[in-house]
Amino acid sequence: MKKIIKYIIADILRSKIIIGYAVLLLMISLTVFNLQPSSGKGLLSLISIVLIIVPLISIIFSTIYIYNSREFIELMVSQPIKRKTIWLSFYMGISAAMSLAFVIGVGLPVMIYSCNAIGILLIIVGVLQTLTFISIAMLAAVYSKDKARGIGIGVLIWLYFSLIFDGFVLFLLFQFQDYQIDKLALILTGLNPIDISRILLLLKMDASALMGYTGAVFRASMGGQAGILTGIVDLLAWIGIPLWLSLRKFGKKDL
């Protein structure tokens, strides 16, 4: 397993795409911190960028990499190696490489310009976002043999979580505004890893005006450390459940 993981990490780190991804994040982070008058405003601007770019690149790159590694996966399956070991090795290898790129691109500037609890939480949330969308990408790839369809599914998932979901929630809130739907709003918040990440960071920054309705409900119900812990557990579930489903599918898949 360790040899497979090392091979995947080395293969990905040689890619110009992953290097470009790290450089892009680094340039954005440095620009944001240098343009803003305070590190707090710099972090606030960086949150919006991270929650859009990181999930998008993670899901697209991971999906493409899985499809491009199809022959290698078939070779590994023909060896006396458990399918579970192969799939987990790919997940760990991709996750390690992309998390490293994120830490270099965002983590280093954050630690230089804003080395505090909020900055550390941003790095943690960014890594969890990376792991989450790699997990979702692998689930999409294993359920579709067609490369174009798999990539399309990945992009649609990102589009749903980043844009469509908020509109859907607002539509529901508008339709049922005469009813007490705070609990429903809280449940819906947990169904979007990007939304829960945004609320976690804004909770720590105490930026109430930017949370929106779902964020306000989340803060009222689970404010403080309990809310942050709940949000992190929710993100861990978003990592584990898609990965488990993809493991089950890969174990039975006819290659």
166 by Cβ neighbours in 10 Å (0-12 / 13-18 / 19+) ranks as middle
pLDDT at 250 over 60: yes
Q: Give the tens place of pLDDT for each residue, 48-73.
A: 788 889 999 999 999 999 999 888 88
Supply the pLDDT for residue 42: 77
Domain parsing of the chain, residue ranges: 2-252
Question: Confidence class of residue 98 from pLDDT cuts 50, 70 and 90?
Answer: very high
Cα–Cα dist 91/21, whole Å? 19
User: Residue type for 194, please?
Assistant: I
Question: Confidence class of residue 209 from pLDDT cuts 50, 70 and 90?
Answer: very low
Nearest to 134 by CA among 95, 87, 102: 95
Cα–Cα dist 130/105, whole Å? 13
pLDDT at 214 over 60: no
Q: Give the tens place of pLDDT for each residue, 178-208.
A: 666 666 667 777 788 888 888 887 777 655 4
What average pLDDT does the structure give for the chain? 83
- Comparing 157 with 201, which gets the higher pLDDT? 157
Cα–Cα dist 37/33, whole Å? 8
Q: What is the pTM assigned to this prediction?
A: 0.89
pLDDT at 164 over 50: yes
